[in-house]
Amino acid sequence: MAKRIDIGGLTAYYGSHKAIEDISMTVEPRSVTAFIGPSGCGKSTFLRTLNRMHEVTPGGRVEGKVLLDDENLYGPGVDPVTVRRTVGMVFQRPNPFPTMSIFDNVAAGLRLNGSYRKNQLAEIVEKSLRGANLWNEVKDRLNKPGSGLSGGQQQRLCIARAIAVEPQVLLMDEPCSALDPISTLAIEDLIGELKERFTIVIVTHNMQQAARVSDRTAFFNLSAVGKPGRLIEIDETERIFSNPSVQATEDYISGRFG
């Protein structure tokens, strides 16, 4: 179910402001790729171009191409709604649908995609919640609202919701930044399991996290405030954190700036 992503010459704008410029990279299937870099370097913006969420922001537009196994997400006639059904996303703050029960939250994406029989739906919901390591905690209260869970549980609920529709790719935008260390650990363990099935891209401010969970790491930077963010380098995580090929990466990682 996992696909490779090839990004070529991607530039994204907010109105007339260029947020990121000319980014090209390849994201390997069944692996975790981490995006790191200082605030404002456009790593979140870049992540949001990968499932066409960037253009939801007023004034947001994108140039370049994103190939998902040779299919251009920005090709003519490609419906962004279809793209988002293949490329799932988990956000910075847990955002379960507050009015829905835990069960309905997980089933929400399935119900959008088509009709399922009741027992079929229950099966997928259970599988997704197990996949998100949440099943044992919520199996007795599937009909309670998702907003009653703790922050970490809510985030795992959001992951369950995202993987329920079996996406090709899972994008995670700082998924642990609103969570305590224990919940963060639970999510990180989960990411390690999920990469067996999905292509995962994660934006993180926490460099230890990038080092812990990712196979490859991309470092983004911007030359000055107001200038567009650029990809500085992407390499094996081990290499980025031990012996990066660009000086700026080493400076950032060793805490000399950012």
The first and second tokens of residue 90, run together, are 């988990």
Give the nearer residue to other proteins in terms of CB position, either 96 or 131.
Answer: 96
Minimum separation from the CB atom of position 100 to other proteins (A)? 7
Alpha-helical runs (H) found in the chain: 43-49, 80-86, 102-113, 118-131, 135-138, 151-164, 181-194, 207-213, 237-242, 247-253
99 interacts with other proteins by CB under 8 A: yes
Give the nearer residue to other proteins in terms of CB position, either 100 or 246.
Answer: 100
37 interacts with other proteins by CB under 8 A: no
Minimum separation from the CB atom of position 165 to other proteins (A)? 7
Give the nearer residue to other proteins in terms of CB position, either 171 or 222.
Answer: 171
The first and second tokens of residue 100, run together, are 């829905």
Which residues, 39 to 68, sit near other proteins by CB under 8 A? Answer: 51, 53, 56, 58
Residues 117-146, one symbol each (x = binds other proteins by CB under 8 A, - = not), give ----------------------------x-
148 interacts with other proteins by CB under 8 A: yes
Minimum separation from the CB atom of position 161 to other proteins (A)? 7
Contacts of 238 (CB under 8 A, 6+ apart): none
Task: For 7-54, give the secondary structure using H, E and C.
Answer: EEEEEEEECCEEEEEEEEEEECCCCEEEEECCCCCCHHHHHHHCCCCH
Helix (H, G, I), strand (E, B) or coil at 227: coil
Closest to 221 (Cα-Cα) out of 23, 61, 38, 6: 38
The amino acid sitting at 202 is: I
* 28, 4 contact by CB (below 8 A): yes
Give the nearer residue to other proteins in terms of CB position, either 165 or 232.
Answer: 165
Residues 67-96, one symbol each (x = binds other proteins by CB under 8 A, - = not), give --------------xxxxx--xx-x-x-xx
158 interacts with other proteins by CB under 8 A: yes
User: Which parts of this chain interact with other proteins (CB under 8 A)?
Assistant: 51, 53, 56, 58, 81-85, 88-89, 91, 93, 95-100, 108-109, 112-113, 145, 147-148, 158, 161-162, 165
